[in-house]
Amino acid sequence: MSQVFLYDTTLRDGTQREDISLSVDDKLLIARRLADFGFHYIEGGWPGSNPKDAEFFARAAKLNLGGAKLAAFGRTRQKNIQCEQDSNLTALLAAATPVVTMVGKSSDYHVKLVLSATLEENLHMIRDSVSYMKAQGREVMFDAEHFFDGFIANKDYALATLKAASDAGANWLVLCETNGGKLPWEIEEIVREVGRHLDTPLGVHCHNDSGCGVANSLAAVRGGCTQIQGTINGYGERVGNANLTTIIPNLQLKMDKIVVKPAQLKELTSLSHYIAEVVNLKHYNHAPYIGHSAFAHKGGIHVAAILKAADTYQHIDPELVGNQMRSVVSELSGRGNIQLHAQTLGINLNNDEAQHVLGRIKHLEHEGFTFEAAEASVELMLHRLRPDYVHPFDLIDYFVITERRQSRGLLSEATVKVKVAGEVKFVAAEGNGPVNALSSALRSGLSDAYPVLKTVRLIDYKVRILDSANGTSAQIRVLITFQGGGHIWTTVGASTNIIDASWHALAESLEYALIKLQ
């Protein structure tokens, strides 16, 4: 087994994605978490490009990153400027990182068109910049930009740029698939060819424009690269960078490479979710290895097999990457789905009970309910089968009005009658909409008996019209999501009346909260 080194560029390349903007504090949090996971190199940004990155490096100097090395990113010196007078190189040195990563042109097309330089001038710029940083005691990565395109167009010159960096003392030569358009067999073949000419360790930096970022990175390792650059969750410009949350387990579990410790690999799912939370993007449920649905089983035949042996429909044990197997309950389910789902909740169902729940679910889904996104409704259904289960409250009736008042604008008011602890409560509440008013009234009626409900709040409300051809009499599905006590849960209701569908989902959410939080 050979070692592959991980180089994360989420804090630079990842932030070039639309919709991502990190504060310095955000970047410091992410850097610390990446170090804890076991990354060998963490690229913090481009200190010569903006004040935020310069501040990050100043503050990051105080971080304890363990064995991780912090890298500052920049470019080779400008044409006709000495290294000592180049502001970009000066900023790189001021970042005071042990590692400096410098991007340089390896494509003759880009040298002529973008740099407006001669091919020989570019070689001098690479050689001088690497030598200068080595003289300052830095570990130097040379990122050969557009390398694969450049190699195909002019192999000798692309190799000459690598040799210039290598002769100047570069510790790593990183082959960049900058435009993301190459295919895995091209990558592997070219990397092997490079290895026949140079002894300096090779890395790879792939983008995902053709959907091959992960495959290209793995092919590069097969070709001889021992460092992979990428980002968490594949964040990056255009369609993104090579996704490290897929690459890492593929290397370690499929290709027998040494990447991180097994205990660190088990943190991969939580790392992925953590980064998504900090960058404020929804986590992709269907991501390989670390997605919520990565080991979710819906088909009844699949689950029946999994109950006998989990590896019948899973390529790895999900616990290896910190994920878990799930059974998705829907009208496509078999009895095994229900039993497996119940087992994860610590509930044992016999065949008759499981069949009863399955029949109920199939009936309700035919009426417009859906339980794939409303696991709390399924769990509640299972709890209600327990012989010792006591309904915490009984709904009697409700009344909702919505009106526009001249002094206050649009206003909703709900009146709810509910029986709790043997006492009938009759409460009213106002809200900015009928569902909000119902939620406030119901919680008000229950809060004396169940104070924990004061800590929960509604965070999402979705409505879908199922048969729009029926106009105002169409079937409507409502999904309501609550949060409380560190948990988030979703319940479902369906009816031809939006208020009735909402009422059903709302009541189930609060009943579920009492199971989960008490």
Decide: 180 and 208 in contact? Cβ < 8 Å.
yes
Tell me how crowded residue 199 is: count the other CB atoms within 10 A of its CB. Answer: 7
pLDDT value for 288: 94
Pair 105, 161: CB distance under 8 Å:
yes
3-state helix, strand, coil in the chain (%, to 5): 45, 20, 35
Domains and CATH numbers, the chain: 5-279 (3.20.20.70), 296-366 (no CATH), 394-517 (3.30.160.270)
Provide the sign of the torsion angle of the four alpha carbons 213, 218, 224, 230, taken in this order. positive
Q: Residue 146 contacts by C-beta under 8 Å, 6 or more apart in sequence?
A: 105, 106, 107, 109, 110, 176, 178, 179
* Secondary structure (DSSP) of 384-416: TTSTT---S-EEEEEEEEEEEETTTEEEEEEEE
Strand order from edge to edge, sheet including 476-484: 457-465, 476-484, 487-495
Per-residue pLDDT, 433: 82
State how far the Cα of 322 lies from the Cα of 319, in Å rounded to an integer: 5
H helix or E strand, kind and range, residue 378 = helix 375-383
> What pLDDT sits at residue 425?
87
| Token pair in block for residue 447 | 């809060």
* DSSP-assigned letter for residue 504: H
- Write the burial class of residue 241 (CB in 10 Å: 0-12 exposed, 13-18 middle, 19+ buried): buried
Give start and end residues of each alpha helix (H) in 198-324.
213-223, 244-249, 262-265, 268-279, 300-306
In this structure, the strands spanning 394-405 and 409-420 are antiparallel
For 319-343, the DSSP string reads GGGT---EE--STT--HHHHHHHHH
SS3 326: strand
pLDDT given at position 356: 67
What is the token pair recorded at 63? Answer: 């971080």
**Pairing state between β 227-230 and 202-206:** parallel
Which residues have C-beta within 8 Å of that of residue 424, sequence separation ≥ 6? 396, 417, 418
Evaluate the CA torsion angle 271, 273, 276, 277 in order and state its sign: negative
Catalogue the E-assigned strands of 272-354: 296-297, 326-327
Alpha carbons 334 and 319: distance in angstroms, whole number: 25
pLDDT digits (tens, 9 = 90+) for 406-442: 666 778 888 889 888 888 988 888 888 888 888 888 8
Spans in the chain with pLDDT lower than 70:
297-308, 326-351, 354, 356-374, 406-408, 466-474
Which helix (H) or strand (E) segment is 102 a member of? strand 99-105
Tell me the pTM: 0.73
pLDDT tens digit string along 34-70?
999 999 999 999 997 788 888 999 999 888 898 999 9
Helix (H, G, I), strand (E, B) or coil at 229: strand
pLDDT digits (tens, 9 = 90+) for 215-243: 999 999 999 999 999 999 999 999 999 99
Look up residue 332 and give its amino acid: L
